[in-house]
Amino acid sequence: MMAAARSNYRLPAEWEPHAATWLAWPHRRATWLGDFAVIPGVFTKVARLIARYEPVRIVATGSVLAEARARLDGVMNIEFHDLPTNDSWLRDTGPVFIVPRVPAAGARPAAVCWGWNAWGGKYPPWDADAALGRAIAERLGLAAIDGGLVLEGGGLETDGEGTLLVNHRCIDDAARNPGVSRTRIEEMLRDRLGIDRVLWVGGELAGDDTDGHIDQLARFVAPGRVVAARQPDTLDPNHAALAMNFERLRGLVDARGRQLDVIPIDIPPRFAFEGTQLPASHLNYYVGNGFVAVPVFGGATDDAALRTLAACFPGRVIEPVVCTELVRGRGALHCITRDEPAA
């Protein structure tokens, strides 16, 4: 792997143009509650939806790859890559793409490949997923940059202008990066991703086995503006932590000196499957070329979340996606997708 070159690259915002979206086809039943048999059907619907707007690249191998091909036979704008995986949460296992700071003829993105240990050692084995970022970079012919940290893509959120929003719980963590100080973590994030300022928050949703990925809690919708999860139900275990995070976000200043404009989005209260609370969050949306795919859960918070995000992303089609089955894996749309920026 090549060394980082901070001055030459930057981490783009998700709303910038994409070359494609990557998905890893599901096959590992151990990370899903309830009936796994319906989950490939959910991925099929998501792949078909995204392919209407931009190319979709699917990774799998063996019989799993054959199943993906069969389910998506004849669908335009989808290609398949024979690469082995342990799990299907490609936001976390795939590379984080960075783009040249100064666009130039022939300049291409690069791929930052982090260390991977399945969210702090929770779901062995993880050997195939640990190699996936580098395998995708090689498949694309892109330079691979050693991330130098154990880190998941769902733990990173950027405005594309040098500000990175992260949760300390899932990065400054002894199960992932033992003995590495927060100061050193910041230095490495700045170096690998071309970041100017790192903003730290905390908290996590009940049932979230990622230890609080930021893509469930707070997301940029434009430079200087974020949406933040809120839980008004005082009986919900998420209420207090989300209220604290909301106030913390309102006091933060980005890399350009702007105090963050924080927009609340209420998430479903006490959302559970067979007595286990799940991290159902409308903030686990995915922004693509001309659209925003938004998780909905069949409850009272759906419509307001869709209206808020429509106002935040004018000119993009808001695509509600029912995620009552997907969230049984303790994630949603953002967790299963990885955006590849356009050159």
Catalytic residue ranges: 335
What are 318's two structure tokens?
Answer: 């808001």
Cα angle vertex 136, ends 132, 140, to 5°? 170
Q: How many CB atoms lie within 10 A of CB 301?
A: 22
Report which secondary-structure segment, H or E, holds 139: helix 127-140
Written as one letter, the residue type at 293 is A
Contacts made by residues 257-262, CB under 8 angstroms, sequence distance 24+: 258/223, 258/224, 259/224, 260/224, 260/225, 260/226, 261/224, 261/225, 261/226, 262/225, 262/226, 262/227, 262/228
Distance CA 177, CA 41 (A): 36
Q: Is-contact 93 24, C-beta < 8 A?
A: yes
Strand order across the 56-60 sheet: 78-82, 56-60, 18-24, 338-341
Q: Is-contact 152 213, C-beta < 8 A?
A: yes
Return the closest-CA partner of residue 338 out of 158, 142, 136, 121: 136
Q: Which letter does DSSP use for residue 257 in this model?
A: S
Q: Which residue has the tokens 């050693």?
A: 146
Distance CA 231, CA 266 (A): 6
Distance CA 138, CA 215 (A): 27
Would you give the distance in Å from CA 130 to the centre of its chain?
A: 17
What are 133's two structure tokens?
Answer: 């970022």
Report which secondary-structure segment, H or E, holds 62: helix 62-71
Number of DSSP helices (H) and strands (E) in the chain, helices first = 9, 19
